[in-house]
Amino acid sequence: MNDRGASKGAVFAKAAKNRDIFNTVLLLAKAARLPKNLEKVAVQLHYLPKDNRRRDTDNLTASAKPMYDALSAAGTGKQAGYGLVPDDDHLHMAKPEPVIHHHHKGQQPRMWLEITTETPQ
The pLDDT tens digits for 49-97 are 999 999 999 989 888 999 999 999 988 888 899 999 999 999 999 999 9
pLDDT at site 53: 94
Looking at per-residue pLDDT, the higher value among 12 and 67 belongs to 67
User: Is there a domain that residue 2 lies in?
Assistant: no
The answer to whether residue 8 scores a pLDDT higher than 50 is yes
Residue 81 confidence (pLDDT): 95
Which CATH number characterizes residue 90's domain? 3.30.1330
SS percent in the chain: helix, strand, coil, step 5: 35, 20, 50
Domain that includes residue 40, residue range? 8-117
Q: How many Å apart are CA 78 and CA 65, to the nearest integer?
A: 15
Does 20 map to a domain? yes
